[in-house]
Amino acid sequence: MVYFPSILPIFTSIFLILLPLSQAQLNSTFYSNTCPNVSNIVTNIIQQASQSDPRIGASLIRLHFHDCFVQGCDGSILLDNNSNGTIQSEKDAAPNTNSTRGFDVVDNIKTAVENLCPVLCPAGGPTWNVLLGRRDSTTANQAGANASIPAPFESLSNLTAKFSAVGLNVTDLVALSGAHTFGRSQCRLFSNRLYNFSGTGVPDPTLNTTYLANLRQICPQNGAGFNVADLDPTTPDVFDANYFSNLQSNRGSFNRIRSYFPVLRLTNTTNSADR
């Protein structure tokens, strides 16, 4: 079973954290007259999609994250290339190509909202008031996507710099990494840890040996790298805090956060995130 009780507030929280701009235009009742059921509409579409695609919740969170890190949460990642070349789609940026997904669900949400409301509006949170009314971007920033979106292999200094550029600190970095508590990752993003960690010719010694064996079954050494593995081996389709407890027991496919435990004092952060 797939659980998504808290995905929508997570989406809107990320929007608010990453884009502190145009606040004068935002309020929690922006759509109360023109689209009062927008939250229910969005929730229903996501729940329908999750029935056939357990990854979709994680994919949508990642899609929003990649949008927000480039000129704010303005939907610019949704824009396609145009015929006159004035828009170079962020979909074709290196962090997004053959990687970001969920665009079809966004299109379905857009269609459902437009069928019931005179305007298109973003998702609101079901448990607290969220400031709404952000305007969609009419331009894309492919270069910004290539430069600003955090990559799986980056150093702590690069990661903290990119988060700092959008007003986030180290605690925010660790907390937002918890979105990897569900969803999948392509083998090519972590296969070096399975076979040739840091050029040593052997696996990353910090990986749990049973977990390593499981990942190797999914990600063969000479494979193309496009197989996908659960980011959370314990509850792969549930939005919970197990991502952090998995890291503390050396069961995390991404190396960048686990290797920074001493610097980030991750235990305190993860305990707070769990609450």
Phi and psi, residue 212, nearest 5°: -60, -45
Q: Which of 55, 62, 64, 66 is catalytic?
A: 66
Give the DSSP per-residue string, 207-226: S-HHHHHHHHHHS-TTS-S-
List, in order, residues 6 or more apart from 192 with CB less than 8 Å away.
Answer: 198
Closest to 94 measured CA to CA, from 143, 140, 158, 164: 143
Q: What distance in Å separates the CA atoms of residue 173 and residue 263, rounded to the nearest whole number?
A: 13
DSSP tag of 181: G
Q: Which letter, b or e, does each residue of 137-162 get, where b requires 16 or more Cβ atoms within 10 Å of its Cβ?
A: beebbbeebbebbbeeeeeeeebbeb
C-alpha to C-alpha distance for 219 and 214, rounded to whole angstroms: 9
66 carries an active-site annotation: yes
User: Any idea which residues carry the catalytic annotation?
Assistant: 66
